[in-house]
Amino acid sequence: MRNLNFGFFDDSGLPRESRILMFYSFDTEENLPRSGILHYHLGEARFVGPRHDRELTEAALDFLSRAGRLPTIVP
């Protein structure tokens, strides 16, 4: 996975308090462009919808965390 990019669909109409809708794009090792949408449910703390590659979802979680979009859990 190369040239991986993420962005937010903040005006998607979904409630921002409970869901994050984001898009992604990347190039495969075979130079094929890929893109799609990820839907993260904050209450369930998981991506919902079709299953996605583990590498993609881990990178997406990192992006959400760095963007300050995941809630901080204080022990």
Question: Taking the model in full, what pTM does it have?
Answer: 0.82
Residue 14, domain extent: 2-66
Residue 29 has pLDDT above 70, yes or no: yes
**How many domains does the chain divide into?**
1
Q: Which token pair is 33?
A: 């462009």
Instruction: Examine residue 47 and state whether it is found in any structural domain, yes or no.
Output: yes
- Which is higher by pLDDT, 47 or 16? 47
Q: Which residue has the tokens 């919808």?
A: 49
Answer yes or no: is pLDDT of 73 > 70.
no
Is residue 72 in a domain?
Answer: no
- The whole-number pLDDT of residue 1 equals 85
Q: Quick check: is 71 in a domain?
A: no
Q: How many CA atoms lie within 13 A of 39 on its CB side?
A: 9
**58 Cβ contact list (under 8 Å, min separation 6):** none
Backbone torsion region of residue 72, taken as left when φ is above 0, otherwise alpha when ψ lies between -120 and 50, otherwise beta: beta
- Residue listed under structure tokens 């040239």: 3
Q: What percent of the chain clears pLDDT 70, i.e. is strictly above it?
A: 88
Does residue 73 lie within any of the structural domains? no
